[in-house]
Chain A
Amino acid sequence: MRVLVFVKATEDSEQGVMPPSELLEAMGKYNEELVNAGIMLGGEGLKPSRLGKRIAFDGPKRTVIDGPFAETRELVAGYWIWEVKDMDEAVAWVKRCPNPMLGPSEIEIRPVFELADFQEIMTPEAEAVHERVRQKLEGE
């Protein structure tokens, strides 16, 4: 199964405080372990939310909101994409991660939807829509 692993933001990460070199090194080693275990598919660090934007939807209305965003604890500072056997394995791997921040911090694991999850709710009508989109894309 595929999971998205979010490293949550802290005041420091939102201020753009760069991690000390020991932490960078420890994270480098950890990333190497993830690669060698064959579970890491990708991942990146994110810049502070002051450089981000949000688009709010309300009916036909679209409102663009500039960062920074207030609720620091709910913001994301980085992510990985992993392929693991189950959530237990993902948890075991996250536990080995060095604390990614200087102070207390949090990492969140979210399983990615898979095709099988959709097949239960995919009606023939919905599938027909997808098929029409496909045919248009293919220029048939």
Chain B
Amino acid sequence: MAVDEAHRAIEATFRIERARLIVGLARIVRDIDQAEELAQEALAIALAEWPTSGVPHNPAAWLMAAAKRRAIDGVRRDRMRERKHAEMLRELDEERDTSVEAIEAAMDDDLGDELLGLIFTACHPTISAEARAALALRLIGGLTTEEIARAFLASEPTVAQRIVRAKRTIGSAGLAFEVPRGAERARRLGSVLEVIYLIFNEGYAATRGEDLVRPALCEEAQRLGRMLAGLLPEEPEVFGLLALMELQASRLNARTASDGALVPLTKQDRARWDHLLIRRGFDALARAEALGGTDGPYALQASLAACHARAHKAEDTDWRRIAGLYDRLSQVMPSAVVGLNRAVAHSMAFGPDVGLRLVDEIADDVALRNYAPLPAARGDFLFRAGRLAEARSEFETAAKLSRNAREVEFLLARAVACD
């Protein structure tokens, strides 16, 4: 029992240090796999020694030193093998300890940027978005391959392979776990933010009652976002994304009914919104704006979410402001889906006819072909404009296109209501 408790305490400490440990080691051995293994070995040593010796005063330094000793042992072992194989004893003797010294020198480096370096490397744009997400969760979040597979509804071998390939890409590209600067940084930061938001959305798309690992992805993404905000306090879009996630997450509890059905924003019990997260979202958005990031794509989306969060009742929603924000968003981040949402916002602010006009402008976009929300929105505009027969046919089209049983039910009910 006591041993078990001690082990859990050690593992918790290890989890806190794991990412730093890995990147510190990866910088030395230039290999993520080996760095992960060394970190794991350090944990094994800690589990064997700490229960009797007690937890050291500085567990981070202790773990690093233990892993470092293993790394040095490894270098020496490799060297021995090389010697035997190549029979080059004398020459090697001359440069005997240089790599050991290099390891010690690297260990003394300022480790302030280490975590950031790991985040940037794991989210490198040469790696596919899914692989980046898996790697970030594995290396920074400390999730197991099995947990990541469950979270992404993928098989374990698929995820394992993604991670192996991503690591190989990092290895062969010689990525040095450094924090990029200047224009390169801006480009690479976009890739990091994209991965974090992808992880968040994967969790957000999950519903309650599903495997709990999936909704926990939101927490992982928020944690990553908060970390990044701590590490890059001058980057407006980092705060834009953080604000967006905090505000969306504030509704997680309110958006599923007890029978598991999704509750639309306007019907949610706003008392069940998480007001601590809303406040944090507002703060992060204010920070993004203060840094000059008002028109960043994430900041604009966060501003939209903030409009809803500010309305104590659904009828208090400031649809004019939302319509204006969508106007800007459709310039900064043009897409058919943004265009459709813009039409909906304008219909709420200025009436169904405006919505119809805007939706007709984008109706031919290929991205919206067979996209159920398009006829559903048209149906709603037509219904509100009193053109019931046309509305009915739009709702029926939408119901045919939707693959979500609850949504089909909802759309058919709206079609019937047109009679």
Is B270 in contact with chain A by the CB < 8 A criterion?
yes
Closest beta carbon of chain B to A39's beta carbon, Å: 7
A38 touches B222 (CB 8 A): yes
Q: Is B16 an interface residue (CB 8 A)?
A: yes
Q: Which of A10-18, A58-66, A79-87, A99-107 contacts B (4 or more CB under 8 A)?
A: A79-87
- Are the C-beta atoms of B16 and A38 separated by less than 8 Å? no
The residues of A that contact B12 with a CB separation of less than 8 Å are 86, 88-89, 91-92
Would you list which residues of chain B between 322 and 345 have a CB under 8 Å from chain A? none
Per the 8 Å Cβ criterion, residues 92-140 of A in contact with B are 92-93, 95, 115, 119, 122, 127, 130-131, 133-134, 137-139
Chain A residue with Cβ nearest B224: A38
Chain A contact patch, size range: 20 to 34
Chain A residues in 8 Å Cβ range of B226: 35, 38-40
**CB-CB < 8 A to B271: which residues of A?**
133-134, 137
Please state if B258 and A119 are interface contacts (CB–CB under 8 Å): yes
A42 at the interface (CB under 8 A from B): yes
What residue of chain A has the Cβ atom nearest to residue B115's Cβ? Answer: A36
B250-290 interface bits toward A, Cβ cutoff 8 Å, 1 = contact, 0 = none: 00010000100000000001111000110110000000000
Q: Taking the nearest CB of chain B, how far is it from the CB of A89, in angstroms?
A: 5
* A138-B223 in contact given A92-B9, A122-B258 (Cβ < 8 Å): no
Are A138's CB and B314's CB within 8 A? yes
Select from chain B the residue with minimum beta-carbon distance to A36.
B230
Cα A86 to Cα B9 in complex, Å, equals 11
Chain B residues within 8 Å of chain A by Cβ, number: 32
A46 CB, nearest partner CB in chain B, Å = 17
Return the contact of B276 from the options A38, A81, A88, A139 (Cβ within 8 A): A81
Q: Would you call B110 an interface residue if the criterion is a C-beta within 8 Å of the partner chain's C-beta atoms? A: no
Contact of A88 among B8, B219, B227, B279 (CB under 8 A): B8
Enumerate chain B residues within 8 angstroms of A35, measured Cβ to Cβ: 226, 229-230
What number of residue pairs across chains A and B have CB atoms under 8 A from each other?
A: 69
A37 within 8 A of B: yes
Interface residue? B11 (CB, 8 A): yes
Contact of A92 among B13, B277, B314 (CB under 8 A): B13
Contact of B315 among A41, A95, A139 (CB under 8 A): A139
CB <8 Å contact, B222 and A89 = no
**Is A32 interfacial (CB-CB < 8 Å)?**
yes
Task: Please pick, from A41, A89, A119, A127, the residue contacting B16 in the complex, using a CB distance under 8 A.
Answer: A89
CB contact under 8 A between A137 and B270, given known A38-B225, A83-B219, A88-B12: yes
In the bound complex, CA of A119 to CA of B55 (Å): 39
B188 an interface residue at 8 Å Cβ cutoff?
no
Docked-complex contact A38 and B223, CB < 8 angstroms: yes
Within 5-45 of B, Cβ neighbours of A (below 8 Å) are at: 8-9, 11-13, 15-16
With CB as the reference atom, state the residue of chain A lying closest to B253.
Answer: A115
A-B contact pairs, 25 of them (CB 8 A): A36-B115, A36-B230, A37-B16, A37-B223, A37-B227, A38-B226, A38-B230, A40-B226, A41-B276, A42-B276, A81-B276, A83-B219, A83-B223, A89-B12, A89-B15, A92-B9, A92-B13, A92-B16, A95-B55, A131-B269, A134-B271, A137-B269, A137-B270, A137-B313, A138-B313
Closest A-B pairs by Cβ, 9 of them: A38-B226, A88-B12, A36-B230, A38-B223, A38-B227, A92-B12, A134-B269, A35-B230, A92-B13
